Structure 1
């Protein structure tokens, strides 16, 4: 690790108040720790890190009565078998299902998986949450 670097930033007062409340709610001991977490998130999601190892979850909500949709979701998941570690399926109501895919691998491969899933007509919602899976120097 290169050591700690100190810097200052000027931000809108209301934004800082909201950030401080969020820090407290999420249990960050200091603004610095919260800012480090936010910086890592931005770096993971940015194109320059494409290919970096990440691990996380993809969440999907869909109507399981749309059979072609379910079959297509399974096809895309199987095509991305190198990054899909496992899945969890939950019945939300008579029509809707929540599927959680645990993923691990190159960030660009996981982005391609998400793009493939999002291209499926009828998918109601999707989200991706990832963390770096690489050890820091």
Structure 2
């Protein structure tokens, strides 16, 4: 969509305690939002995505980010096998070797929120994984190639 076109908006009014409004204004300034409305839109989108994630079946895109001890015997193979078993949901992964025998891996996923949460839980709970987190967004990755061998129309 062109940036020149504005989507229709609805105006609402909210009441905030002084302290909460002061904190909101400080966050707007420190993060560089153009307005309170822009900041509140961002917060609402994040909250709605989290709600959709918790309710389970909407297809979403996101990342599973983990930090693990690369000395843990068999962990890298286990992680690769888990990703391979979930090829429909695991789009790609990237890992970076860090200091102190640690590796950070970012796994790009897409699928029903409940399914990708189960994949994230299985990955994050592996012995040797130090920490992990899944971040989902209510968006989709376009198909990488036309399905069924059909030529893409231009």
TM-score by length of 1: 0.80
How far apart are 1:94 and its partner, in Å?
4.3
Q: What is the alpha-carbon root mean square deviation over aligned residues? A: 2.2
Distance in 2, matches of 1:58 and 1:29, equals 30
1:52 is aligned to 58
Q: Identify the structure with bigger relative contact order (alpha carbons < 8 Å, sequence gap 6+).
A: 1
Residue 86 of structure 1, CA deviation: 0.8
* CA distance in 2: counterparts of 1:79 and 1:19, whole angstroms: 44
Q: CA deviation at 1:125?
A: 0.9
Distance 2:95 2:133 in 1: 15
The 1:72–1:13 alpha-carbon spacing in structure 2 relative to 1, beyond 3 Å, is farther
Deviation per CA, 1:2-23, whole angstroms, max 9, x where unpaired?
9533333344433433332332
- CA–CA distance in structure 1, aligned partners of residues 45 and 101 of structure 2: 37
Q: Contact 2:66–2:124 (CA<8 Å) still a contact in 1? A: no
Q: What is the aligned residue count?
A: 132
Query: Does residue 1:132 correspond to 2:144, yes or no?
Result: no
Structure 2 runs not aligned, ≥5 long: 1-6, 141-154
Verify the 8 A CA contact 2:66 2:129 in the aligned structure 1. yes
1:27 and 2:32 equivalent?
yes
For 1:29, what is the secondary structure of its paired residue?
coil
- One of 88, 96, 104 as aligned partner of 1:98: 104
Find the partner of 1:69 among 52, 58, 75: 75
| CA separation of 1:67 and 1:12: change in aligned 2, threshold 3 A | farther
